[in-house]
């Protein structure tokens, strides 16, 4: 029986989805290399239909974070595994239309090149399409980077790469710095070790947004599998590799995150830092050292390692990922722990509390602390009026704590809420940049204008971006680059910690000061993972049933408002319309609320919960905290139970 016969039989027997069979047959007939053909033949022969469903039920798609997926299958074929590298990587990335491998990567690169070439033509530009490509430490990252660069130059473009792993924020900066037309970073951020990804950036250094995202996807979808074969052999002879100056210029820009350099002279701040085997130490440690911060590294996690052997997940959102750093801080009496994820765009922290113990902070708490401190510091320095101004703004996502909305209002500055993903925050910067550039007229160079002067001009003609944040541990101090920056976040938060210490307080005590001003806010998150083809169907079922039959209540608490961003029109504080998305905001009778959405970067359904309790004075704060936690925990259980019921078609 041939492979085609076995596939047909599996479809008839309900073991293989029709879409998976179509894609699998197309790949078998697509002239794959011998090792790839052998891998698929082995999986078919073994009857690994569940694995083949996951690999082929669709083509890997772009989400809020670009294209991200498995590069190592759950079930591996012998030809894929081959001889393991010294770092534990299989010989080949797994074969499949829904995986990140040479074939799906090349389709993405070819499609991106076609779109950029067309875009330049509409701009009447004769320049060659120029791309900057960075990569992290994951399996196949360097190989994918060089292969993408090789393909780009063979297509007639200019490609620039780094001499080794670099952070995602440095890629964002470099696109602007080198005046490239696009950029790519090969990373799966904080995903598990078996994943990798392809994040695409546009001319402004931000991740792609409409209409460019749909245009690029259309071009990628139009690339046949047969078109990639001629590019599978690397030739990087025409690829430019960046030198030390590119690193120095990024570090100089990231250092502008520090608003008050004198703060580190007023007290000694001792920090434990971990890069969790990723790229963070390349820039974060030099930034902290240069500012005068005493840094102790976690030795077990310093070396690059695609397997992330010391953690269950290389995600600074998870307490377990910071456990070695926290233990080191407890032992050595250090003030602060900071950790960056594998591609260096997120930062997690733990601080010493009044009892002398290390205490983990959430992304919402860190963002609130940074927002309050930085707005107050800008006022103190005279960058913005003491009473605030609507011409200066903080930008956050809808799923980030409403405490930051309260902080912004309290300081008299504008607060912009965006969809999830830092590309939407960057989109606001682009609007404000374009407005200023238009006002200043021909010859005005936005990036060349000194930061302080740019801040003044933006307040005069547009809006000055003060700070941006999302709850998932992403922060950006200014608009010199256009993606969240874990490196500058380390510097920003070290400044806050030093300022607090110089006041004789702890960071949690500063957070309590904020609560006493604006009320107590507590957040929670529910992540429900559903992998593969069947998992995608379950996530879709939750989203569809929320729209068709919104929840009327949770326990005894009624739903008072249900906002559907996919069907209703919403506008931000600039009166700009929010793009449609499968995002739901649900408000309850007790004033609590939550947001629901499918993750754009991982196979999961996400719920973001928000509790709020009024506080009249310091004596009320402990009771408010306890009430919020108890109520939120109960609500969390009800929401999750309802979601799982909907996923199984029972809701």
The set of catalytic residues is: 189
Beta bridge partners of 529: 604
3-state secondary structure of 596: strand
Contact between 611 and 522 (Cβ < 8 Å): yes
CA dist 374 and 279 (Å) reads 26
Residues in the chain: 651
SS3 514: helix
Under 8 Å between Cβ of 81 and 115: no
Q: Using CA atoms, how far apart are residues 184 and 157, in angstroms rounded to an integer?
A: 14
DSSP assignment letter at 611: E
Q: What is d(CA 254, CA 476) in angstroms, rounded to the nearest whole number?
A: 10
β-strands 583-588, 66-70: how paired?
unpaired
CA-CA-CA-CA dihedral for 16, 17, 21, 22, to nearest 10:
180
Classify the C-alpha dihedral 514-516-517-518 as positive or negative.
positive
Tell which residue, 282, 287, 288, has the closest CA to residue 162. Answer: 282
For the record, the structure tokens of 245 come out as 């100056």
Phi, psi of 575 (to 5 degrees): 65, 25
Residue with tokens 């690029």: 216
Listing DSSP states for 220-246 in one string gives HHT--GGGGGGGSS---TT-EE--HHH
Half-sphere exposure of 363 (CA within 13 A, CB side): 28
User: Both tokens of residue 636?
Assistant: 């969390």
Q: Do 282 and 251 touch, CB atoms closer than 8 A?
A: no
Q: Are 518 and 403 in contact (CB under 8 A)?
A: yes
Give the residue carrying structure tokens 């402004």.
Answer: 204
């Amino acid at each position: 029986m041939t492979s085609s016969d076995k596939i047909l039989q599996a479809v008839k027997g309900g073991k293989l989805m029709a879409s998976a069979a179509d894609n699998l047959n197309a790949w078998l007939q697509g002239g794959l290399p011998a090792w790839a053909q052998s891998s698929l033949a082995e999986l078919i022969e073994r009857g690994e239909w569940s694995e083949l469903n996951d690999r082929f039920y669709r083509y890997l798609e772009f989400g809020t974070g670009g294209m991200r997926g498995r590069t190592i299958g759950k079930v591996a074929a012998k030809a894929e595994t081959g001889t393991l590298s010294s770092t534990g990587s299989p010989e080949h990335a797994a074969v499949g239309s829904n995986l990140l491998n040479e074939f799906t990567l090349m389709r993405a690169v070819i499609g991106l090149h076609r779109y950029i070439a067309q875009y330049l033509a509409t701009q009447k530009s004769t320049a060659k399409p120029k791309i900057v490509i960075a990569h992290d430490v994951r399996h196949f990252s360097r190989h994918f980077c060089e292969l993408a660069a090789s393909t780009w130059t063979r297509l007639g473009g200019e490609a620039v790469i780094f001499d080794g792993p670099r952070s995602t924020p440095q890629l964002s900066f470099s696109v602007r710095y080198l005046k490239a037309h696009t950029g790519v970073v090969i990373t799966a951020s904080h995903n598990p070790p078996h994943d990798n990804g392809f994040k695409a950036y546009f001319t402004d250094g931000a991740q792609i947004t409409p209409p460019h995202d749909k245009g690029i996807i259309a071009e990628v979808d139009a690339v046949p599998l047969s078109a990639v074969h001629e590019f599978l052999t690397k030739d990087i002879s025409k690829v430019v590799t960046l030198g030390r100056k590119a690193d120095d210029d990024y570090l100089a820009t990231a250092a502008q995150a520090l608003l008050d350099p004198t703060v580190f002279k007023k007290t000694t701040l001792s920090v434990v830092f971990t890069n969790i085997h990723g790229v963070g130490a390349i820039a974060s440690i030099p930034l902290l050292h240069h500012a005068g911060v005493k840094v102790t590294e976690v030795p077990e996690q310093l070396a690059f390692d695609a397997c992330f052997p010391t953690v269950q997940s290389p995600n600074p959102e998870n307490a377990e990922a910071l456990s070695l750093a926290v233990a080191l801080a407890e032992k050595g009496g250090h003030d602060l722990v900071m950790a960056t994820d594998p591609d260096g765009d997120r930062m997690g922290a733990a601080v010493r509390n009044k009892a002398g113990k290390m205490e983990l902070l959430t992304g919402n708490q860190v963002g609130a602390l940074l927002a309050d401190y930085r707005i107050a510091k800008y006022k103190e320095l005279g960058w913005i009026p003491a009473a605030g101004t609507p011409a200066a703004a903080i930008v956050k996502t809808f799923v980030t704590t409403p405490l930051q909305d309260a902080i912004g209002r309290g300081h008299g500055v504008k607060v912009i809420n965006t969809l999830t993903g830092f590309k939407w925050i960057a989109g606001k910067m682009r609007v404000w940049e374009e407005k200023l550039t238009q006002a200043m007229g021909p010859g005005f160079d936005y990036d060349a204008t000194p930061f302080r002067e740019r801040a003044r001009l933006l307040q005069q003609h547009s809006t000055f971006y003060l700070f941006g944040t999302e709850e998932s541990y992403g922060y950006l101090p200014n608009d010199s680059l256009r993606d969240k920056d874990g490196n500058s976040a380390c510097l920003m938060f070290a400044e806050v910690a030093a300022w607090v210490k110089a006041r004789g307080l702890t960071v949690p005590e500063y957070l309590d000061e904020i609560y006493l001003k604006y009320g107590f806010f507590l957040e929670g998150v529910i992540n429900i993972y559903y992998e593969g083809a069947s998992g995608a169907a379950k996530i879709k079922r939750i989203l569809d049933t929320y729209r068709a039959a919104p929840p009327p209540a949770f326990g005894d608490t009624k739903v008072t408002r249900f906002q559907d961003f996919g069907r209703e029109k919403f506008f931000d504080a600039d009166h700009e319309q929010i793009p449609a998305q499968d995002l739901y905001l649900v408000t309850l009778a007790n004033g609590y609320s939550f947001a629901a959405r499918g993750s754009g970067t991982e196979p999961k359904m996400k719920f973001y919960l928000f509790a709020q309790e009024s506080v009249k004075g310091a004596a009320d704060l402990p009771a408010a905290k306890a009430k919020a936690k108890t109520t939120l925990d109960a609500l969390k259980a009800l929401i999750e139970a309802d979601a799982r019921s909907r996923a199984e078609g029972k809701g």
